[in-house]
Each structure stands twice: as C-alpha cells, then as structure tokens.
C-alpha cells in the first residue's frame, strides 16, 4: 500500500495551471522487454515519498518538487536511499540530489528557455571505490582488489539543445 493524491486546476483565460501532488509509502518498478519476449524488472524504488507544487504557465512553471526514496535498485545494483529536489522560479530550475550511502551529490541549474543552458556539479566525498565499481556495472571479478575512497567533483556546462557540445572538468581531490 501507499497513498498518492493529486489535484490540478487550469485557468483558461490566463492559460495558467496549479497542481499539487503528495505521495507516501509508494513503490515503483520499471519494466523493460527481455530477450524471451517477456518483461524484466530494470529498477525498483521502495518507500517513495513525493511532494510537488507547481503553478504558472505550463511551459515555464514555478514551483517545487521533492522526492525521498527509501531504497533504490537498478539492474540488480543497490543504490540505497536517494533524495532529490527541484526548485523552479522565473525560468530557472535548481536541482539537488544525493545518494548519501555513497557520498554522492548533484547540484545543477537549468534555464527553461531555448537553448536550455545548464551547469552542474557531481561530487563524490569519501566514496568507496569498490561500491562505485559495482554501481558502474563492473563484474565482481573485474573489480576484485579495488579498495579505497575517492574525493572528486565533475563540473559540466552546456545546453540541452546540444548536450554533446557540453564541457566537463574532473577534479580529483583525494584518493586513499
């Protein structure tokens, strides 16, 4: 079980919307076709809580959305708890996210007008190298003997219209 509630209104004269969503104790599975023609579970999210409020133009809304996932699994790899928040105002969305058990965080800003420029930073603070190798999908036998921790940041900037033209800078500040 879990609970999900949502409400929305649309003002035809001003072409604006107001929407609210709240969810507690939700579970979500993402399925994909497998080789035998059936469905395979690719991701599972459990103990999911969400809160969102948006208002304004549907092409440039203001509002906030937050998500807390008690446990996440992608392709059999356990990520642990995930958190995320988006705050949008005056055409700019600010995004923060984290995977606390892995010491990983994301901070980003996206402008909601073409060409949708963005800037972001992913950080790893005292992240366990063996666990990161598992999350990256390395087979256990290839990651054998990997140990230690890493402190690093990856800065990225560009536009959503041309993501392959983005620039990235990796700063490795600690390796134990």
**What CA–CA distance (Å, rounded) separates 59 from 15?**
10
Structure confidence by residue, pLDDT tens digits, 45-96 = 999 999 999 999 888 899 999 999 999 998 888 889 999 999 999 999 999 9
pLDDT band at 142 (very low <50, low <70, confident <90, very high): low
Of the chain, the percentage scoring pLDDT greater than 70 comes to 98
The full length of the chain comes to 176
**Euclidean distance between the first and the last CA atom of the chain, given in angstroms as a whole number:** 44
Segment holding 51, helix H or strand E: strand 39-57
Phi, psi of 113, rounded to the nearest 5 degrees: -120, 140
Judged by DSSP in three states, 102 sits in: helix
In 15-128, which residue ranges form alpha helices assigned H by DSSP?
none
**What CA–CA distance (Å, rounded) separates 66 from 95?**
10
């Amino acid at each position: 079980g879990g609970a999900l509630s949502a409400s929305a209104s649309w003002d035809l004269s001003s072409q604006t919307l107001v929407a609210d969503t709240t969810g507690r104790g939700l579970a979500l599975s993402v399925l994909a076709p497998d080789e035998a023609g059936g469905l395979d579970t690719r991701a599972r999210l459990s103990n999911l809580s969400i809160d969102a409020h948006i208002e304004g133009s549907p092409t440039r809304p203001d509002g906030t959305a937050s998500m807390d996932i008690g446990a996440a699994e992608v392709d059999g790899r356990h990520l642990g708890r995930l958190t995320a928040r988006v705050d949008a105002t005056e055409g700019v969305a600010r995004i923060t996210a984290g995977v606390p058990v892995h010491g990983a965080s994301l901070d980003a800003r996206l402008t909601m007008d073409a060409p949708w420029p963005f800037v972001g930073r992913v950080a790893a603070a005292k992240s366990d190298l063996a666990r990161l190798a598992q999350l990256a999908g390395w087979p256990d036998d290839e990651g054998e003997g990997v140990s230690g921790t890493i402190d690093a940041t990856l800065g990225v900037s560009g536009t959503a219209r041309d993501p392959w033209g983005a620039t990235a800078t990796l700063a490795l500040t600690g390796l134990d």
